[in-house]
Structure 1
Amino acid sequence: MKAVLAGTVIAEADESDLARIEGNWYFPPASITEGALVESPTPYTCPWKGAAQYFSVQAGGELHTDYAWSYPTPFPSAFDRVGKDFSGFVAFDPRVEVSE
């Protein structure tokens, strides 16, 4: 699977390595292209996943604000709900094309 924005590959991994949560593909941290993500100060806490870390995505010569997010330390109960440890996995805004 690949995550692509403005012709730039942001992440790439085998589908079996990803987590599918609420309709979004979450990519493992090691699959993220170095330098593609810039931490954002945007706050958000999911009632069942925990505190999120938002990122802006550097692609196509532009910085796309809050186009990605992650749960660095999800609530332990979320692992059971998802079926795997998704700590630090990164999901993308629908404007980022995720495909096989």
Structure 2
Amino acid sequence: MAAKAVWNGAVLASTDDYEVVEGNIYFPPASLNLSYFKPSSTVTTCGWKGQASYYTIEVAGKQNKDAAWYYASPLPAAANIKDHVAFWKGVKVEKH
């Protein structure tokens, strides 16, 4: 089953090969349309996944701050989502 992430009418990511962790779909780096992703200085820490970094999504001049996150160096228990990106803050993620 394929998955895609859409915000403000733009497809941010689309793939048949993704990981699901805690109900979130994590998209592999190759599935991202990087023209919509702007680096953010925001970081958070998860006790079992490690430190998450964020992207702000920008589509047609509108920004969705920190709407995507990823683990560049996850802890061993989350190694399967290294560099994969998940979404929130109104980004619609759907399986089809």
- TM-score normalised according to structure 1 size: 0.87
Secondary structure in 2 aligned to 1:53? strand
Partner of 1:4: 6
Aligned to 1:88: 83
8 Å Cα contact 1:6-1:59 kept in structure 2: yes
Residue in 2 aligned with 1:65?
65
Q: Deviations over 1:63-98 (max 9, x none)?
A: 11010000011011334xxxxx21100000051111
Q: CA deviation at 1:52?
A: 0.5
Which structure 2 residues correspond to residues 34-45 of structure 1 after superposition, within 5 A?
34-45=34-45
Unaligned ranges ≥5, structure 2: none
Structure-2 separation of matches of 1:37 and 1:61: 12
* Offset at residue 43 of structure 1 (A): 1.9
Q: Distance in 2 between matches of 1:46 and 1:77?
A: 11
- Alpha-carbon RMSD: 1.1
1:11-22 mapped onto 2 (5 Å cutoff): 11-14=13-16, 17-22=17-22
Count, aligned residues: 93
**Could you say what secondary structure the match of 1:48 adopts?**
coil
Supply the AA of the counterpart residue of 1:10: L
Q: Distance in 1 between matches of 2:92 and 2:71?
A: 21
In the TM superposition, structure 1's runs of 4+ consecutive aligned residues that sit over 4 Å from their partners are none
Deviations 1:39-79 (A, max 9, x none): 11112011000011111011242111010000011011334
Q: Is the 8 A contact 2:64 2:89 kept in 1?
A: no
